[in-house]
Amino acid sequence: MKPTLIAISGSLLLASGAQAQEVRPAQGQAKRPVSDDEVGRFALVALVVNQVMNDKALDQGQRNTAISQSLRRNRLAPQRFSEIEHASQTDTALQQRIRAAAQSHIRAVREHQQ
């Protein structure tokens, strides 16, 4: 993987759909509110997903492994990631929360690199 997250664009959220589309929420399942902690973890995984999906040096198996590891490290089940990703497609407040969390993660990486 590339060592920096700085090149990630503001549209990182929906790039996560490639992995998340494989896991759909069960029909009729009640939507749970998304906590601030989950938003932060989702944003971090989405950043990793975006980076991994754009890394041409990785094959699909390596991409899947990297995404699975990121989900595990960030304590986010694939099902919940998918639920949040789908909810963010129509919930503008959630989109803003995720975008702010992602920007915070990117700022932290930039500061750490200096």
Does residue 69 sit within a domain? yes
Does residue 68 form part of some domain?
Answer: yes
Question: What torsion, rounded to 10 degrees, do the Cα atoms 49, 68, 18, 24 define?
Answer: -130
Task: Determine the Cα–Cα distance for residues 52 and 81; give it in Å rounded to an integer.
Answer: 16
| 74 is a domain residue | yes
pLDDT of 27 reads 43
Tokens 């990297």 found at: 66
The answer as to whether 96 is a domain residue is yes
Torsion of CA 40, 46, 52, 55, to 10 degrees: -110
Does the residue 6 lie in any domain? no
Let me know if residue 25 belongs to a domain.
no
Give the DSSP letter of residue 96. Answer: H
Domain count, the chain: 1
How far apart are the C-alpha atoms of 78 and 28, rounded to whole Å? Answer: 18
pLDDT number for residue 26: 45
**What is the span of the domain harbouring residue 73?**
12-20+35-113
pLDDT category at 106 given cuts 50, 70, 90 is very high
Is 62 inside a domain boundary? yes
